[in-house]
Amino acid sequence: MPPTHAPLPAAPVVRLVRLSPDTLSALLDGDLDRARELAGIGITEYFSSSSMHWLWRLRLGQIAADPSSLPWLVRAGVDEATAEVVGHAGFHGPPDAQGMVEVGYSVDPRLRRRGYARAMLRALIAEARSAVEVTTVRASISPTNAGSLATIAGCGFERVGEQWDEYDGLELVFELRLPCD
């Protein structure tokens, strides 16, 4: 009798929910209940952990300097099937003069290796495709970050170089050129 194989689980579908400056401030204040109320979703402790504070401060500074950047920044990733908040994703800012946006994403450590990073990345790419001013999506990844390198594989990104990041060190730079329809 041939071995039977369980069917592969379906890839998750993630909805991205924008987080307001007030939500980010509540997370910095450690007020998870208020952040949940403001966002209207079940934000997890991962979002209020001290390891995330630098990102919320950075994004609040960007918004203060340029309020028009808000729509491009932080989103929570919500699993459509379970309504569970699985991580965060967004762009590093609005498109630059050449139409380039850079993506960033992170999955709650307890939910990693389930396809959520790729689902959030695909949602970001779809959003970039819908913005007429975006021509290129960039991802900068540490050469030792096997998870993120695997995440972008199969999404059409091409390696275009490397750069030195003052926080993360060496990063490989990948870009996805969008059609100019």
- 139, 141, 146: which is closest to 170 by C-alpha? 141
In a domain? residue 4: no
Which tokens go with 58?
């950075």
In a domain? residue 8: no
In a domain? residue 84: yes
Q: pLDDT tier at 34 (50, 70, 90 boundaries)?
A: very high
Q: Report the C-alpha gap between 120 and 13 in whole angstroms.
A: 8
Q: Report the C-alpha gap between 82 and 70 in whole angstroms.
A: 27
The answer to whether 101 touches 134, Cβ cutoff 8 Å, is: yes
- 114, 115, 156: which is closest to 139 by C-alpha? 156
Torsion, CA 64, CA 70, CA 74, CA 75, rounded to 10? 150
In a domain? residue 22: yes
Higher pLDDT, 181 or 172: 172
Write out the DSSP string of 105-147.
EEE-GGG-SSSHHHHHHHHHHHHHHH-TT--EEEEEE-TT-HH
Mean pLDDT of the region 53-70:
96
Higher pLDDT, 158 or 166: 158
Q: What is the CATH number of the domain that holds 83?
A: 3.40.630.30
pLDDT of residue 180: 54
Domain with 30 in it: 14-177
The count of domains in the chain is: 1
The string of pLDDT tens digits covering residues 117-136 is 999 999 999 999 999 999 99
Which residue type sits at 65?
Answer: A
pTM higher than 0.85, yes or no?
yes
In a domain? residue 75: yes
In a domain? residue 86: yes
The string of pLDDT tens digits covering residues 136-156 is 999 999 999 999 999 999 899
Is residue 175 scored above 70 in pLDDT? yes
In a domain? residue 35: yes
Q: pLDDT tier at 1 (50, 70, 90 boundaries)?
A: low
